[in-house]
Amino acid sequence: MKAIYVMWLRQLIRFWRTKSRIIASLAQPILFLVALGFGLGPIYAKSGGGSYIQFLAPGIIGMSILFTAMFAGMEVIWDRQFGFLKETLVSPSSRFSIFLGRTLGGATVALIQGIVLFIITLIIGFRPTSIALLPLALVFMFLLAFIFTALGTALAIKVEDMQAFPLIMNFIIMPVFFLSGALYPLATASGVIKTIALFDPLSYQIDAIRSILTGAAHFGLMVDFTVSLVCAAIVTMLGIYFFNRVEV
């Protein structure tokens, strides 16, 4: 437990020291929210969909968490370059504790960014249907952050090239995001998109957050929660497997 806490705290300290980078990373989600929300809003309303900001905001919150969580793995490559990863792996702490602490720390940072963006959506005009359900939304936001932080950390263990990592992350992130239904309703999407969305883990977290904040659900909360837990277990086992195979 001590190792998990230390790694978690270390990630938060890094966040505080690089808070300017976190603030800068909010630019893209805000651009999506404003440009699409107000640009396509009238078209969405004319089609009978209502307020596009109401529909879009949960998806953009998920986008913000996704990007921050996946790129948390970059710190593993930095630590490998400067030798800190080797020092950590040869310590008495189990590799499970090291991986879990890193993942929880990165997920906490991604969750904080998601909360900041949620506040920004309120300023722009988004209105949740129930304030009482916000804690439940935070649970799914954390699950989203945990899943993709664990995935990013696991992949970073296998990728040693610092220049290649962002390219690989974008290759994964962009399809995961655009095929998740974050920007459009899955109910009216083509059959191909619906089928792909079934295998996209982000689809279920976005659906849960949207369901809680706006009441518009596609899969249902129980399905969203079950799939999210299964995905969290799979990426955790994958990350631990990769960590245990790292040569020191």
Q: CA-to-CA distance for 223 and 220, rounded, in angstroms?
A: 6
Q: Supply the pTM of this predicted model.
A: 0.89
pLDDT digit string, tens, across residues 50-69: 788 889 999 999 999 998 88
Half-sphere exposure of 166 (CA within 13 A, CB side): 4
pLDDT digit string, tens, across residues 183-217: 988 988 888 999 999 999 999 999 999 999 998 88
The yes-or-no verdict on residue 83 having pLDDT over 70 is no
Considering 109-113, 139-143, 216-220, 238-242, the range whose residues carry the highest mean pLDDT is 139-143
Instruction: Name the residue among 221, 231, 172, 244 with its Cα closest to residue 201.
Output: 231
Distances from the Cα of 197 to the Cα of 52, 119, 157, 186, 200, angstroms: 20, 28, 27, 8, 5
Count CB-CB contacts under 10 A for residue 233: 12
> Where are the domains positioned within the chain?
2-244
